Amino acid sequence: MMNTSGRTRMIAYRLLQAIPAIIGIVIVSFILTRALPGDPAAYFAGPAASSESIEQIRRTMGLDQPLPVQFLAYVKDLVTGDLGHSISTGQPVLTELGARLPASLELTGFALLFSMAVALPLGILAASRPNSWVDHLCRFVVTAGVSLPVFFTGLALVYLFYYLLGWAPSPMGRIDILYLSPPKITGFYVIDSLLAGDLETARAALAQLILPAITLGLFTLAPIARMTRAAMIQILEGEFVRTARAAGLSRRSMLYTYALRNAILPVITTLGMVFSFTLGANVLVEKVFAWPGIGSWAVEALVVSDYAAVQGFVLAMALLFVTINLVIDILYTLIDPRLGMES
């Protein structure tokens, strides 16, 4: 093909561009946590500690060293995969991240799947029939989605489906206490239990997941539906769609092959932004459903100046952001042939 090499080069270039971003993230996460108020050594020593023992702890933690030395030590640890120990739990940060990040990813992933499953068809239908009842429904859902706070929708859903109807299991974490968590392979309970062939556990994990995912999904579907509708409306008014109409193409191929494939580009961008945003910001949902996610963990760590944990959180999130952006960029080049040709 004419521009395959152009695309490959473009993707390679994007990958290279990620490197300075990662270096920047490492530096910023280090400085940011050092700039936090509070003295971790004092916290670690406890309220009864004397100033000598605090000093002692400060030394063992390396906090008496000048910042550049601390930074080098930090980078060295990072390279070996050592993110330090959480002060409050005593666990290695990497282990905690390994346990908590999949929980958040699972929740956010399902929430996005749910919101896409609702928002994309809604947006497309609304765009193809402006001012019809679908369009009004779309507008209503979008407005409701952004204006209802997640803790409210979460509590309302729990009240309705758990307390009143009893359809949902108790909103207590990732799996009902009657079940054992599946052997860890990916960290996603639903997938792990399926891999282990344990349908019963998979069902239980999924049941736990549904309400928090819908809660979060109701919030995230608003920007996706809105963007889908706007992009589709713009494309459907375009000249090439008129050509497709004049050529007698069916409504189906006009909407999907012609309009949606062009309209999907801005939707993907929105999706990436929403994903990155909700991953770190779903603390409220995690609190309501006692979900052991990374958001609530980070907030707790922040409150007690547990900076190894905060640092690990910032680093993990930033790397995720970079990865997501990279994936979106690459998706873009795959969908839009025009992109490989610049440069």
Partner 1 sequence: MTVPLVDIRDLSVEFNTRRGTVSAVKRVSLQIAKGETVGIVGESGSGKSVTSYALMRILDRAGRIAGGSVVFGGVDVANADKRTLSELRGREMSMIFQNPRAALNPIRRVGQQIEDVLLEHGMAKHGNARDKAIKMLAAVRIADPEKRYSAYPFELSGGMCQRIVIAIALACRPQLLIADEPTTGLDVTTQKTVMELIVELARERDMATLFITHDLGLAATWCDRILVMENGEVVEAKPTRELFAAPSHPYTRRLLQATPHRDSRVCDLLPVDDPRRAVPSTAAPGKPLLEVKAVTKRFGGASSRPAVDALSFQIGEGESLGLVGESGCGKSTTSAMIMRLLDPDSGQILFRSDDIGTVTARRFASHPARRSLQMVFQDPTDSLNPRWSARRSIADPLYRLAASSRRAAERQVNELAERVGLSNHLLERFPHQLSGGQKARVGIARAVALSPSLLILDEPTAALDVSVQAVVLNLLVSLREQLGMSYLFISHDLNVVRLVCDRVMVMRAGQIVEQGPTASLLTHPSHDYTRTLLDAIPHPPASSRQPREAAT
The minimum distance between CB 243 and partner 1, in angstroms, equals 5
341 binds partner 1, rule: CB under 8 A: yes
- d(CA 160, CA 165) in angstroms, rounded, equals 6
Question: Which stretches of 213-319 are assigned E, i.e. beta strand?
Answer: none
* Chosen residue from 170, 243, 303, 323 binding partner 1 by CB under 8 A: 243
The minimum distance between CB 124 and partner 1, in angstroms, equals 16
Pick 147 or 253: Cβ nearer partner 1: 253
- Quote helix, strand, coil % in the chain, to nearest 5: 75, 0, 25
Place of tokens 């309501």: 288
Residue 63: in which H helix or E strand, if any? none
The minimum distance between CB 15 and partner 1, in angstroms, equals 23
Pick 236 or 314: Cβ nearer partner 1: 236
Pick 143 or 253: Cβ nearer partner 1: 253
337 binds partner 1, rule: CB under 8 A: yes
Pick 13 or 240: Cβ nearer partner 1: 240
Residue 275: name the closest of 117, 115, 128, 161 by CA: 115
Residue 222: name the closest of 145, 111, 137, 117 by CA: 145
User: How many residues of this chain interact with partner 1, rule: CB under 8 A?
Assistant: 27
249 binds partner 1, rule: CB under 8 A: yes
∠ CA(117), CA(123), CA(124), 5° rounding?
95
CA end-to-end span of the chain = 18
343 binds partner 1, rule: CB under 8 A: no
Contact 324, 14 (CB under 8 A): no
239 binds partner 1, rule: CB under 8 A: yes
Half-sphere exposure of 16 (CA within 13 A, CB side): 6
The minimum distance between CB 229 and partner 1, in angstroms, equals 15
Question: Which stretches of the chain are assigned E, i.e. beta strand?
Answer: none
67 binds partner 1, rule: CB under 8 A: no
* Chosen residue from 24, 257, 303, 323 binding partner 1 by CB under 8 A: 257
Q: Which stretch binds partner 1 (CB under 8 A): 53-61, 152-160, 256-264, 308-316?
A: 256-264
- DSSP symbol at 257: I
342 binds partner 1, rule: CB under 8 A: no
2 binds partner 1, rule: CB under 8 A: yes
- Taking each helix axis as running N to C, give the angle between helix 150-157 and helix 199-236, from 0 to 180 degrees, rounded to the nearest 10: 130
The minimum distance between CB 125 and partner 1, in angstroms, equals 15
Q: Give the per-residue contact string, 99-138, with partner 1 (x = CB under 8 A; - = no).
A: -------------------------------x--------
Residue 259: in which H helix or E strand, if any? none
* Chosen residue from 74, 179, 258, 313 binding partner 1 by CB under 8 A: 258
Contact 168, 177 (CB under 8 A): no
Place of tokens 């990620």: 18
Pick 2 or 48: Cβ nearer partner 1: 2
Site for partner 1 in 131-170 (CB under 8 A): none
4 binds partner 1, rule: CB under 8 A: no
Q: Which stretch binds partner 1 (CB under 8 A): 85-93, 185-193, 224-232, 237-245?
A: 237-245
- DSSP symbol at 282: -
- d(CA 273, CA 215) in angstroms, rounded, equals 18
- d(CA 195, CA 202) in angstroms, rounded, equals 9
Interface contacts to partner 1, rule CB under 8 A: 1-3, 130, 238-240, 242-251, 253, 257-258, 261-262, 335-338, 341
